[in-house]
Amino acid sequence: MVSRVIPVEVFDLVIFGGTGDLARRKILPGLYRRFLAGQLPEGARIIGAARADFDDAGYRQFVNDAICEFVKSSRHDKAHIDEFLSRIKYLPVDALGDAGWQGLASLMRPNVIRAFYFSVAPRLFGPLAERLHDHGIADAESRIVVEKPFGRDLKSAKALNAVLAESFDEHQIYRIDHYLGKETVQNLMAVRFGNMLFEPLWNSQYVDHIQITVAESVGVGGRGSYYDKSGAIRDMVQNHLMQLLCLIAMEPPSEFEPDAVRDEKLKVIRALDAPDQQDIVRGQYRSGEDTPSYRDDAENDESTTESFIAMKLGISNWRWKGTPIYLRTGKRLRERTSEIAVVFKDPPHSIFGEQEGRRGNVLVIRLQPNEGMNLRVTIKEPGPGGMRLIEVPLDMSFAEALADGDDIPDAYERLIMDVMRGNQTLFMRGDEVEAAWAWTDPIIQAWEDARKKPVEYDPGGSGPDDSLMLLHRDGRRWREIKA
Ligand SMILES: NC(=O)c1ccc[n+]([C@@H]2O[C@H](COP(=O)([O-])OP(=O)(O)OC[C@H]3O[C@@H](n4cnc5c(N)ncnc54)[C@H](OP(=O)(O)O)[C@@H]3O)[C@@H](O)[C@H]2O)c1
């Protein structure tokens, strides 16, 4: 079922930052897996570009090592790896200088798709776009893939959009949010809009509330000084959680077409209420028995950056008015897990008596680990004990449901192939990113004005107690953070 591949045309993919961490861990191994799946057409080439002074052979060794480290060993067939490596080239190029650009221009072939992956620091996005344009390397059908973060506020995002727009049309710009490439996220749209079952119930009349949790068990160590300048709201909420929220809350688009989908997502962001400060909890992890505190990780004793955030949001439109959406994300929590839970209201009356209570259904969309969906329904407990009700899951774990669940493509693989097909549905449009920042900026500004410090929380738990209270005071509770 998963092995069916939609062919793409011959391409030249240039990975700027081809020697970096993201290329090594995600992009190159992902391309190899697509090659194994038969999706790289004959003649497709991958060209690494960075300042490091590799030749083709040296870079192929780098790619080989990346495959060996990040692709499972059952896929390490030497003949396949060698064939894949034969499509790899490397060119030293400086995004901020002249070095390498003439060489890149002459390496490009006519009549093949040209895609340029900007897997470099954001300050290089603009200079790369300009040079691609000035050296005539990009044509009208070329695509650029831009990594996150896309700006750090509305002003910088607008400036970046403007710089890119000088050299590329919007239809050529693929702003990547790898959450959108996850199988479950796309399945969310299939479940919502491909079935009659859920959509009639998908509104404030039937949905009590929605919880979106993206929990990580690791701290920020290693990238602490970078993280300290962004915090959970910039690093996670403005992009990933916002995108998930849009897909959950949007109206059905008229067709599954990039702008139709993105128009509907944009409307959700614009309908988001500005949250009350008392509906936001910011936290910072303490040190644990053998783990450093956030401030130690960030190497900043005075840091007021949040490593955890929980918020209650409202959407002012006919569908969702009155249904709160609770978001939470943080580092050093109990488990690494991401899920969306749509909690339906209780039946209006329990025919089984008050003792059995009223039980709402919960649809859980799990992004990681074990991508899948799970609908909790109420049934009678089997056996002769009278009418006792229990909740059981109707489980749809992709790994089990699909013939070769092991082959579910990683988000990056899927998204890179979408770039080659010219399909922008799962990429953020410029106006979406700006709308998300326009919503986020005043929240951050209010913290800065109030000089509010985050509350501390213990590592390995579910975040600050205040976050539990955020739901408790509404008579609700967070789902347990568990893998
Ligand atoms: N790593 C992740 O898991 C991850 C996740 C999400 C998003 N991202 C985003 O992806 C991008 C890349 O991240 P990364 O972790 O791969 O960074 P990285 O490991 O620091 O790699 C940066 C790359 O850029 C190249 N580079 C630096 N200056 C250059 C210049 N002047 N001209 C040409 N190339 C230059 C570097 O090679 P040379 O030094 O040899 O030039 C290197 O290949 C960033 O925007 C990051 O925010 C990364």
Which atom of ligand 1 is nearest the CA belonging to 26? Answer: 3
387's tokens: 């009418």
CB neighbours of residue 231 within 10 Å: 24
Q: What pLDDT shows up at residue 1?
A: 45
Task: Show which residues are catalytic.
Answer: 240
Integer Cα distance of 312 and 472 in angstroms: 12
Name the closest-CA residue to atom 39, ligand 1.
Answer: 51
d(CA 34, CA 62) in angstroms, rounded, equals 18
Q: How far apart are CA 7 and CA 4, in angstroms?
A: 9
Query: Counting atoms of ligand 1 from 1, which one is nearest the CA of 97?
Result: 31
pLDDT given for residue 401 in this prediction: 61
Position 406 scores a pLDDT of 54
Rg (CA), the chain: 24
Distance separating alpha carbons of residues 462 and 482, to the nearest angstrom = 10
Q: What residues does ligand 1 touch, defined as CB less than 6 Å away?
A: 16-23, 50-52, 93-96, 119-122, 124, 147-149
Ligand 1 centroid–CA 17 distance in Å is: 5
Each residue's pLDDT, cut to its tens digit, for the chain (483 residues) gives: 445 667 799 999 999 999 999 999 999 999 999 999 999 999 999 999 999 999 999 999 999 999 999 999 888 889 999 999 999 999 999 999 999 999 999 999 999 999 999 999 999 999 999 999 999 999 999 999 999 999 999 999 999 999 999 999 999 999 999 999 988 888 889 989 999 989 999 999 999 999 999 999 999 988 898 999 999 999 999 999 999 999 999 999 999 999 999 999 999 999 999 999 999 999 999 999 999 999 999 999 999 999 999 999 999 999 999 999 999 999 999 999 999 999 999 988 888 887 676 778 999 999 888 888 889 888 888 888 778 888 888 877 765 665 455 566 789 999 999 999 999 999 999 999 999 999 999 999 999 998 889 999 999 999 999 999 999 999 999 999 987
Nearest CA residue ID for atom 20, ligand 1: 20
pTM of the model: 0.93
Our CA angle for 144, 148, 149, nearest 5°, is: 130
Sign of CA dihedral 350, 353, 354, 358: negative
Report how far ligand 1's centroid is from the alpha carbon of 133 (Å).
21
Q: How far apart are the C-alpha atoms of 192 and 251, rounded to whole Å?
A: 10
Q: Which two tokens stand for residue 361?
A: 């259904």
Distance CA 236, CA 225 (A): 16
385: its two tokens: 């004990």
Q: Are 135 and 129 in contact (CB under 8 A)?
A: no
The rounded Å distance from CA 267 to ligand 1 centre is 33
**How many angstroms separate the most distant Cα atoms in the chain?**
81
Using CA positions, which residue lies closest to atom 18 of ligand 1?
20
Nearest residue (CA) to ligand 1, atom 3: 22
**Which of 26, 51, 117 has most ligand 1 atoms within 8 Å of its beta carbon, as the pocket-test mutant?**
51
Peptide bond connecting 369 to the previous residue in cis, omega within 30 degrees of 0: yes
pLDDT score recorded for residue 126: 95
Report the separation in Å between the CA atom of 373 and the middle of ligand 1, taken as the mean of its atom positions.
34
| 21/17 Cα distance (integer angstroms) | 8
Rounded to the nearest whole angstrom, what is the distance from the C-alpha of residue 124 to the centroid of ligand 1?
Answer: 9
CA-proximal residue: ligand 1, atom 45 (nearest)? 121
